[in-house]
């Protein structure tokens, strides 16, 4: 989605990468940033046992296993950012139509309903502070940046409360007067959009979209036919013959990252964009070919034009985006996404000076007198070597690995001990003897460890609230009546103080 923003300056790239750079650089600056990078946040409603344990007992962050996990998360972020997936203010949400307009049509008999939204307007209650949004959708091949006014923002006053009576979810609602469905090529049967509210991103995308109109071409429809073995075979054959859509998207990426958009003339760039348009069309015909049994033949004049770009290797950032080898990609040029590489630092993990505290592993045990048997220790070492890469940073329920976890626990149960005793044994063996590789413990017996921590450590009961101003989720005491995050609370407090002083001045003037 970034590669289509070809009209962008170096200073704007610095602005867009700022949040990502900050996240990498602050990974180990404090206990809170370490917990944040490990996913211990109010937004994570399905924490793994390891995340729950860190939240209850933060000294676990000083352990080598936690540091290894942080290092792996950092490497994952580095790869993600360098592949062009930056930190932005945005969210994936469902695309929905103007239901008021639909009711006008269905029940009011109005042939051309007005609805609640005008042309170039959307309603997304997720971003009350953002008056403009960039609505995007995968696959993003051409220039599908739909910049729209957000009627849910504060500037629309009483109109918002009226619309909210009809638009009650956090989806993005679109207007019946708008061509946004043609730009994003969506229908409203469960399609999602990435809605970006980052002001600088929206501003840059809007500039790049000047003069750009939606692509439109007459797609073929499948002829009505009987469903039999022959038609099923024809559909399967077409799918296997034309179904490799990755070819088209890769070729389009080669063009968007070509030097033509770095140093080419307007005419050369126009030709490259025209090639992208035609490849987008071929891609969509390819997707539909299995049901329509039709795929247009590429004309002779087009082959030399497209091969001028597509004969090259993949862009350099595909080393991170698609795990390509160095020999499979071009030398890094000055395209937007390739420029990101130099801006994302590969910072070493260093937790010295954080005062994370030392671990008392006995707090992680149900029975502190348990000592690990040699049989259990040997079995753990054998199974951890076999499974540790598969199960690292995974949860048996969230990642659909329940069967694997049950099979491993079954092998341990053959030693004759209960799950709770085996958990205590492994804690004593791994943490008592400062072993490094603890993946299997947290994957199979992590919840037993969490249960012991909850029994041995007195923790305050808390709840999560959503700030009524900015929408940020924060954790507060269970009895707290707070309705705002810290930042918004300070802003509101200052506003109240200013209002109080203003009233005092007015009162003082009236008494004179």
- The DSSP line for 80-146 is HHHTT----SEEEEEEE--HHHHHHHHTT--SS---S--TTEEEETT-TT-SEEEEE-SS--S---E
Q: How many C-beta atoms surround the C-beta of residue 120 within 10 A?
A: 14
User: What is the pLDDT at residue 145?
Assistant: 93
For Cα atoms 309, 310, 311, give the angle at the middle one, nearest 5 degrees: 95
Q: Which residues contact 379 (CB under 8 A, 6 or more apart)?
A: 411, 412, 415
The pLDDT value recorded for residue 337 is: 94
Query: What does the pLDDT read at residue 259?
Result: 92
For 424-480, write each residue's pLDDT tens digit.
Answer: 999 999 999 999 899 999 999 999 999 999 999 988 888 888 888 877 888 888 888
Parts of the chain with a pLDDT under 50 = none
Query: What confidence score (pLDDT) does residue 510 get?
Result: 66
Q: In this predicted structure, what is the pLDDT of residue 27?
A: 86
- According to CATH, the topology of domain 93-197 is Barwin-like endoglucanases (2.40.40)
Give the pLDDT of residue 511: 66
Q: How far apart are the C-alpha atoms of 45 and 39, rounded to whole Å?
A: 10
Which residues does 18 contact at the CB level (< 8 Å), separation at least 6? none
What would the two tokens of residue 296 be? 């247009």
Per-domain boundaries in the chain: 93-197, 360-453, 462-511
Q: What pLDDT sits at residue 355?
A: 80
Q: What is the CA radius of gyration of the chain?
A: 28
**Any idea of the CA torsion for 395, 396, 399, 402, to the nearest 10 degrees?**
180
Q: How many CA atoms lie within 13 A of 407 on its CB side?
A: 6
| pLDDT given for residue 87 in this prediction | 92
pLDDT at 512: 60
Q: How far apart are CA 423 and CA 441, in angstroms?
A: 7
């Amino acid at each position: 989605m970034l590669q289509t923003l070809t009209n962008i300056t170096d200073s704007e790239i610095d602005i867009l990468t700022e949040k990502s750079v900050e996240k990498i650089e602050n990974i180990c600056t404090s206990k809170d940033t370490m917990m944040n990078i490990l996913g211990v946040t109010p937004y994570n409603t399905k924490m793994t046992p390891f995340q729950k344990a860190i939240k209850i007992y933060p000294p676990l962050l000083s352990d080598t296993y936690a540091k290894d996990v942080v290092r792996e998360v950092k490497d994952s972020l580095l790869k993600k950012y360098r592949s062009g997936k930056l930190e932005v203010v945005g969210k994936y949400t469902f695309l929905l139509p103007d239901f008021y307009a639909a009711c006008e049509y269905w029940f009011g008999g109005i042939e051309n309903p007005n609805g609640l939204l005008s042309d170039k307007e959307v309603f997304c209650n997720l971003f009350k502070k953002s008056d403009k949004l960039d609505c995007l959708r995968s696959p993003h091949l051409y220039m599908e940046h739909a910049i729209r006014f957000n009627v849910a923002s504060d500037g629309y006053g009483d109109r918002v409360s009226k619309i909210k009576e009809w638009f009650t979810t956090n989806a993005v609602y679109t207007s019946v007067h708008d061509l946004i469905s043609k730009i994003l090529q969506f229908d409203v049967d469960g399609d999602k959009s990435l809605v970006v509210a980052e002001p600088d991103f929206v501003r840059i995308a809007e500039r790049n979209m000047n003069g750009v109109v939606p692509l439109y071409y007459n797609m073929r429809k499948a002829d009505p036919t009987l469903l039999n073995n022959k038609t099923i075979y024809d559909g399967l054959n077409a799918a296997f013959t034309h179904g490799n859509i990755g070819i088209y998207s890769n070729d389009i990426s080669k063009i968007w990252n070509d030097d033509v958009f770095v140093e080419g003339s307007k005419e050369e760039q126009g030709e490259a964009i025209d090639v992208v348009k035609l490849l987008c069309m071929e891609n969509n015909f390819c997707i539909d070919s299995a049901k329509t049994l039709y795929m247009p033949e590429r004309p002779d004049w087009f082959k030399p034009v497209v091969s001028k770009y597509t004969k090259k290797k993949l862009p350099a950032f595909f080393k991170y985006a698609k795990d390509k080898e160095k020999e499979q990609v071009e030398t890094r040029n000055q395209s937007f996404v390739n420029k990101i590489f130099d801006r994302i630092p590969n910072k070493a993990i260093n937790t010295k000076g954080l005062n994370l505290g030392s671990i008392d592993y006995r707090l992680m045990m149900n029975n502190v007198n348990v000592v690990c048997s040699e049989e259990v220790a040997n079995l753990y070492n054998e199974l951890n070597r076999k499974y540790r890469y598969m199960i690292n940073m995974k949860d048996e329920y969230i990642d659909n690995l329940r069967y694997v976890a049950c099979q491993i626990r079954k092998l341990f149960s053959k030693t004759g001990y209960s799950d709770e005793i085996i958990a205590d044994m492994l804690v004593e063996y791994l943490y008592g003897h400062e072993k490094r590789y603890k993946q299997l413990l947290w994957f199979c017996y992590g919840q037993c460890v969490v249960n012991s921590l909850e029994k041995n450590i007195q923790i305050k009961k808390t709840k999560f609230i959503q700030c009524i101003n900015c929408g940020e989720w924060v954790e507060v005491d269970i009895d707290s009546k707070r309705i705002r995050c810290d930042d918004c609370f300070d802003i509101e407090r200052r506003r109240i103080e200013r209002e109080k002083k203003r009233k005092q001045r007015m009162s003082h003037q009236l008494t004179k």
